[in-house]
Structure formats: structure tokens, C-alpha cells
């Protein structure tokens, strides 16, 4: 694949990951194993309140093909095929779920040194079509995405964005919700490994005149331990501690508290991911 501007979904992703990734208020346990033949098996159990759920994911890699099969406790089976380079500079993704036979989806991604395009179509009698395009370079990129419902003949979504990336910083602006919201974010990395960083994000929803401002960051205590925290202007405070117990095996403890609520009982989650 080319080293072009990336997908539209990459715009603002660095800030989003810093503010949302690994934050968890539930009890979660994950075990992953890998074989030399290219097979990976991941088992996940989650306890949220009094409800427990789980799933098993199997991934098989062979040359330019990846097959993922996920089975959950609701007896749903989701299968995804990812094939690289059927046509040069493309990635093809086909997915479907059983017993929901109308959930099938086919996506094609095309990568160029100065542009990327994606098209995804639902595999049913009344298909919805999603598409996106990004132009630029790894340093600066402009993009847009849209969704079209062939049954109603209406656009279900349209979004536009711009991102500017440098080795130690990244900024983005996204106009979304059919023009009803705008989100601007900025990330500054403070170390070479990009494990210590500061992030700020502001979102405005025009229809409700609501503004949300969030600041956060991550700090690498050492090579094995990272702490993250975030706080928004509505008083929601989140924090997590992540430690690599053994190589590729992570223990994550996170919590969230509403500092403005009368009932300030915090919610805590524990996530353990073992990957030998």
C-alpha cells in the first residue's frame, strides 16, 4: 500500500484514541493466543452491572488474506474476509453475520500516493451505500464521506474534515452530523515513542448551542506502564492505569466520575488482556 494521506477515518483518530481508547468502566478479561501457522484465538468476557457477555474471535492469516470469525454468547456468528491487492493498491473487505442475513457488507479501499477512496455497499435488497475520499499527503489531508439510502433516495450522512500532521503533533477539524456539529482537536507528542502526549478537543453542536471541551493526555511512567486522564467541561473525569505484566499482556484499570453530579459514586473497570 502507498504512503498517502490515509483513509478519511484517520482524520482526528489520534485525538480520539487518546480520549477514548482503553477507557472502560466494566470488568473485562481477554486472552489471546497465536500459532506459527498464522492462527490467532481471542476470548473475551465482560461483566457490566449484573449482565455478563462474552465472545470468541478466531483470526487466520494466509499470504494477502485475513479471515476473522467471531462467535458471541447471543449465538451470533460474524465473519470478515480481508484481501489485499486483488487489484494493485486496493483492499477488499467482505463481512456478514448469521443469523442476520441482511447484515452483509462489501467494502473496497483504494490507496494512492495523493488520494484514497472507499466504497461500501450493504448486501441486501435495499442497499445503503457509504463512500469517502481523501486527498493530500501524509502531512496535510482533506477528506469527505457520505452515506446514501437507495430506498428513500436520501443522504443519511455527509461529513468533511482536514488534518495536519507532523512527527510530534497533529491537528484536525471535522464538520459532521450533516453540518450540525464541528469538532476540532490537537495532539502534541512529548516523546519519540509517542506514549506521552497532551490532547485537547472542542465540539460544538449548532442545533442545541452546546459546547463540549475536553482535555487529556497520557504519560509513560516507564517502558511498561502508562497512565491516562481526561476531563471535560461537563465535569466528567476519567483516568486509567495500564501495565504490561509480561510481554504483550496488559492489565488496565480505569474509572470515571461525574464531578458535578450530586451522586459522585465513581465507576471503575478492570481489563486484563493476555497475549502470549
- Return averaged pLDDT per consecutive 10 residues of the chain, 276 residues in all: 83 95 84 81 83 91 94 92 93 92 91 96 91 96 96 92 96 96 97 93 96 97 94 93 86 87 71 75
pLDDT, position 170: 97
Q: Confirm whether pTM is higher than 0.85.
A: yes
State the Cα–Cα distance between residues 230 and 242, nearest whole angstrom.
15
CA contacts within 13 A on the Cβ side of 272: 8
In the block, which residue shows the cell 453530579? 261
User: pLDDT tens across 183-218, in order?
Assistant: 999 999 999 889 999 999 999 999 999 999 999 999
Closest CA to 204 of 173, 164, 168: 173
pLDDT, position 276: 62
Cβ atoms of 200 and 215 closer than 8 Å: yes
Task: Strands of 167-235 (E only): list them.
Answer: 169-176, 181-189, 197-205, 210-220, 225-232
Question: H or E element: which one contains 15?
Answer: helix 13-20
User: Cβ contacts of residue 34 below 8 Å, gap of 6+?
Assistant: 40, 41, 275, 276
State the Cα–Cα distance between residues 3 and 112, nearest whole angstrom.
8
pLDDT, position 246: 82
- Burial class for 246, CB neighbours closer than 10 Å (0-12, 13-18, 19+): exposed
Is the omega angle on the peptide bond into residue 99 within 30 degrees of 0, that is, cis? yes
Please report the domains of the chain, with CATH numbers, ordered by start residue: 11-274 (2.40.160.10)
Amino acid at each position: 500500500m502507498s504512503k498517502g494521506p490515509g483513509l478519511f477515518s484517520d482524520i482526528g483518530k489520534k485525538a480520539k484514541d487518546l480520549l477514548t481508547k482503553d477507557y472502560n468502566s466494566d470488568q473485562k478479561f481477554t486472552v489471546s493466543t497465536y500459532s506459527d501457522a498464522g492462527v490467532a484465538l481471542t476470548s473475551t468476557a465482560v461483566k457490566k452491572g449484573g449482565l455478563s457477555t462474552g465472545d470468541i474471535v478466531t483470526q487466520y492469516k494466509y499470504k494477502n488474506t485475513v479471515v476473522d470469525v467471531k462467535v458471541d454468547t447471543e449465538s451470533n456468528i460474524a465473519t470478515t474476509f480481508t484481501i489485499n491487492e486483488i487489484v494493485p493498491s486496493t483492499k477488499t473487505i467482505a463481512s456478514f453475520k448469521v443469523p442476520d442475513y441482511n447484515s452483509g457488507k462489501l467494502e473496497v479501499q483504494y490507496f494512492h500516493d495523493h488520494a484514497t477512496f472507499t466504497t461500501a455497499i450493504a448486501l441486501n435488497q435495499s442497499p445503503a451505500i457509504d463512500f469517502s475520499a481523501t486527498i493530500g499527503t501524509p502531512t496535510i489531508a482533506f477528506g469527505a464521506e457520505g452515506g446514501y439510502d437507495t430506498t428513500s433516495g436520501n443522504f443519511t450522512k455527509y461529513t468533511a474534515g482536514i488534518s495536519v500532521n507532523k512527527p510530534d503533533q497533529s491537528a484536525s477539524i471535522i464538520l459532521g452530523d450533516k453540518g450540525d456539529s464541528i469538532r476540532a482537536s490537537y495532539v502534541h507528542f512529548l516523546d519519540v515513542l509517542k506514549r506521552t502526549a497532551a490532547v485537547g478537543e472542542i465540539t460544538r453542536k449548532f442545533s442545541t448551542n452546546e459546547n463540549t471541551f475536553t482535555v487529556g493526555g497520557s504519560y509513560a511512567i516507564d517502558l511498561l506502564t502508562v497512565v491516562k486522564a481526561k476531563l471535560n467541561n461537563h465535569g466528567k473525569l476519567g483516568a486509567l492505569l495500564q501495565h504490561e505484566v509480561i510481554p504483550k499482556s496488559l492489565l488496565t484499570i480505569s474509572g470515571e466520575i461525574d464531578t458535578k453530579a450530586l451522586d459522585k459514586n465513581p465507576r471503575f473497570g478492570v481489563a486484563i488482556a493476555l497475549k502470549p
